[in-house]
Amino acid sequence: MWFKPWKQNKVDPLDQVVRDRLPRHIAIIMDGNGRWAQKRALPRSMGHRAGVEALRKVVKACSKLGIEVLTVYAFSTENWKRPKDEVGVLMTLLTEYLRKELQELHQNNVLIRTMGRIADLPREAQHELEHSMESTRNNTGLILNLALNYGGRSEIIDAVRKLSKDVLMGKLRIEEIDEEGFSKALFTSGLPDPDLLIRTSGEMRLSNFLLWQLAYTEIVVVDELWPDFGQKALLEAIKVYQKRDRRFGGIHTN
Ligand code: IPE
Ligand code: IPE
Ligand code: MG
């Protein structure tokens, strides 16, 4: 036979994304694990477990897309108010995630970093985080920034304290305090501000996330609950972002 049977080539959806306007930094408020479980009459812990799966998928997709930074809100300073059991589950899942995924993350050139008051986390979680950061510190691909025991207000207070100390010690003059220097005193020092913030589960609030850094970030709120979020939903959110007109307070002159 002179012809070959028609073979349908499957196109990877990641290849269909417009590459020239990708966000450099994506931040995500991973919300809705509890509601996902409730809908299925499951304990909240199952929702958190399913949430880890969504995180795995999103990290992979961001890494393949060539996104520079992915910051995920995993535990807020206010989440300590939850029942002790639930806090325990969240901490265990974090440790488990790092243990199970470290090798693959490392193979994919992902660098792990954290933001938040890490010293107040359980010792085991801290140990796993240190190990993960140490093993991936020379990687040059996606930066996976885990916000843990993170609060935007406490981050700002910590920065103010740090700069005040420098002033008292004569290392810094008050007139020298500027936006650039202040940004360097935050956990996100050295990272670009997020271009895109995604919040799942439809809630229209920041819940104390990246209060300084989100000044000019494009916000996309989606109705999907976090465990239902994956590569497809991520690409949709990126498409919405790509249609936005970012003016940064200016106007178009052409
Ligand atoms: C997000 O899901 C996970 C964390 C806050 C750690 P939630 O647990 O907040 O889920 P909902 O909002 O109760 O559905
Ligand atoms: C924000 O979600 C914190 C994280 C996703 C880690 P919450 O569920 O804690 O936020 P609220 O309570 O609805 O504002
Ligand atoms: Mg919630």
pLDDT band of 3, cuts 50, 70, 90: low
* Residue 78 Cα: closest atom of ligand 2: 9
pLDDT tens column, 135-178: 999 999 999 999 999 999 999 999 999 999 999 999 999 999 99
pLDDT band of 13, cuts 50, 70, 90: confident
Q: How far is the CA of 99 from the centre of ligand 1 (A)?
A: 22
Q: Is the pLDDT of residue 40 over 90?
A: yes
pLDDT band of 11, cuts 50, 70, 90: confident
On average, the pLDDT of the chain sits at 95
- What integer pLDDT is reported at residue 2 of this predicted model? 56
Q: Is the CB of 226 under 6 A from ligand 2?
A: no
Q: Is 22 helix (H, G, I), strand (E, B) or coil?
A: coil
106-141 burial: b if 16+ Cβ within 10 Å, else e: bebebbbbbbbebeebeeebbebbeebbebbeebeb
Tokens of residue 208, six digits? 């104390």
Token pair 């954290």: residue: 114
Residues with CB under 6 A from ligand 1: 30-35, 75, 79, 90, 201, 226
pLDDT band of 56, cuts 50, 70, 90: very high
Q: Is the pLDDT of residue 70 over 90?
A: yes
Q: How far apart are CA 24 and CA 68, in angstroms?
A: 5
Phi, psi dihedrals of residue 51, rounded to the nearest 5°: -65, -35
Active site residue 31: yes
Dihedral sign of CA atoms 80, 86, 91, 93 in order: negative
- What integer pLDDT is reported at residue 5 of this predicted model? 60
Tell me: is residue 99 an annotated ligand-binding position: no
pLDDT tens column, 193-237: 999 999 999 999 999 999 999 999 999 999 999 999 999 999 999
Radius of gyration of the chain (CA): 20
Q: Which residues pair with 69 in a beta bridge?
A: 25, 143
pLDDT tens column, 99-136: 999 999 999 999 999 999 999 999 999 999 999 999 99
- What integer pLDDT is reported at residue 254 of this predicted model? 67
- What integer pLDDT is reported at residue 253 of this predicted model? 78
Which domains are delineated in the chain?
21-150+196-243 (3.40.1180.10), 151-186 (no CATH)
Q: How far apart are CA 221 and CA 29, in angstroms?
A: 9
- What integer pLDDT is reported at residue 207 of this predicted model? 98
- What integer pLDDT is reported at residue 98 of this predicted model? 98
Q: Is the pLDDT of residue 7 over 70?
A: no
Q: Is 169 helix (H, G, I), strand (E, B) or coil?
A: coil
Q: How far apart are CA 11 and CA 138, in angstroms?
A: 32
What type of residue sits at position 146? L
Q: What is the DSSP letter of 9?
A: P
